Amino acid sequence: MSVNTKMTNSLYQKDVISFDDLTSLEVELILKIAKKIKEHGITYSIENKLIANCFFEPSTRTRLSFEAAALRMGGQVIGFPDDSSLSIRKGETLADTMRVIAGYADLIVIRHPREGSARLTAEVSDCPVINAGDGANQHPTQALIELFSIQECQSSLNGLSIALVGDLKYGRAIHSFIAACLLFDVRLYLVSPESLTLPDAICDKLKKRGMRFSFHQHIEEVIPKVDILYITRIQQERFTETEYQLIQNKFILTAKMLEKAKKNLKVLHPLPRVNEVALDVDQTPHAYYFQQANNGVVIRQALLALVLNEVIL
Amino acid sequence: MSDMLSVSAIKNGTVIDHIVAGQALRIIYLLGLQKKNNLVTIGLNLRSKRLGIKDLIKIEDRILAEDEANETVIFAPAATINVIENFHVVHKIKTHLPSVAHGVFLCPNRLCVTQMEQMESCHYIHEQGKKITLICHYCEKEFDRDQVKVAV
């Protein structure tokens, strides 16, 4: 597929709430612009544009990379890192809060613990809205970072075997990434505790789309087969203390386990990690999660440039 | 005694027949009949050649709108909905499963934004064979028809 980037782009003023909101051409365009920024040093401008970075729950990478992306392109940023200073504490609705902020800004980035909060914000706002994570639902820009990182380290997004490890039930990054995988010819290995397996509705979707996938409970059995091992944190609050200890030990990746890996295998993680990726993995040629985190800025630069500029070269 | 005689006949109004047993009360709430003044007669667990057992609802002096009839199909895919005038069936309302329902259901996901905000819910309705599922427009979760409660 070829994309004529000189044309008016379809992402202009578009809300990005769920990965399914993006067409394959739009995904390709975002990756292409991100590559131009990273590899060719091409600069895009969002000068005189004001971004509202609205984070109702904690974030390090997502919030700061959106901020860095905006500032690097000459944009300005307002916002908050949590909801402690907002009138929501006085009982104001989310819809009213976001409608007002939309009047101040040219684009809203929102993270909120409630699922569907970004969709609601888009419906009440006059400016475009980007979802930076809504509960356990979606995190579409994180999925774009994974795609960009995979393309970068494997030279292609097709013909790959990808293992998804950890919390497949509640992980929003996983849910968005699976939606992204549906655009490509990949084979998935789903590795999780039984209680955190992929929801039936998503499995049905994979089947309908003809995606090849299988379920596993041990990381070791998939390591020799895959090109990408995408591991996520299992949240302690989902389990009792005893259950957590038992499960946690089964889902820790160590450097020794990677001895049987293919040479090209790269380990991705949306971060933060707790202990599911042992520190000794950092020293192996397979670790790619810090490069992946760095890619957060160029992907968000590309997205902001496309959403805020009607014509982009 | 025939099923139709198990519950009293109505002179004018709407009869919803061939409701899958157990779904009549949900349809009552769906149509808001508990809040209206129309006389409503309900038959539960009536014998039926087609369904084995069925439920039945008769509503005096009210003709269902097309949208209402279509929403009824979510809970009663095999329902026949007849308009009665002077004790006779004068019209059979043709129905189809709606693709979307606004403000009809409560999302069962306790973390869905619709449970926190004063807002209208929105569910997409999918039919796979005999299975009807609803997908929340906001939290994107999918639910079986029997998991969702009607917004009262």
| Per-residue pLDDT in tens (0 to 9) along chain B, 152 residues | 455 555 678 999 999 999 999 999 999 999 999 988 899 999 999 999 888 999 999 999 999 999 999 999 999 988 999 999 999 999 999 999 999 999 999 999 999 999 999 999 999 999 888 889 999 999 999 999 888 988 87
Lowest-pLDDT choice from A83-87, A163-167, B6-10, B143-147: B6-10
Q: Which residues of A fall within a CB distance of 8 Å from B136?
A: 116
Give the global pTM: 0.89
Q: Do B113 and A113 touch (CB under 8 A)?
A: no
Distance in Å, alpha carbon of A134 to nearest chain B alpha carbon: 8
**A119 among known catalytic residues:** no
**A90 among known catalytic residues:** yes
Residue A309 contacts residue A302 (beta carbons within 8 Å): no
What is the structure's pLDDT at A1?
43
- DSSP codes joined into one string, A161-230: EEEEES-TTT-HHHHHHHHHHTTS-EEEEEE--GGGPPPHHHHHHHHHTT-EEEEES-STTTGGG-SEEE
Which residues contact residue B102 at a Cβ distance below 8 angstroms, ignoring those fewer than 6 apart? B120, B121, B122
**A216 among known catalytic residues:** no
User: What is the ipTM score, two decimals?
Assistant: 0.88
Q: How far is CA A83 from CA A12, A103, A295, A297, B110, in A?
A: 29, 19, 27, 24, 20
Strands B100-102, B122-128: parallel, antiparallel or unpaired by DSSP? antiparallel
**CA distance linking residue A3 with residue A16, whole number of Å:** 19
Q: Is A244 exposed, middle or buried (0-12, 13-18, 19+ CB in 10 A)?
A: middle
For testing contact with chain B, the best of A20, A92, A112, A137 (most B CBs within 10 A)? A137
Which own/partner contact pairs does A287-295 have at CB distance under 8 Å and 24+ positions apart? A288/A149, A288/A153, A291/A149, A291/A152, A291/A153, A292/A145, A292/A146, A292/A149, A292/A268, A293/A61, A293/A65, A295/A34, A295/A38, A295/A145, A295/A148, A295/A149, A295/A152
Q: Which of A38, A111, A172, A286 is catalytic?
A: A111
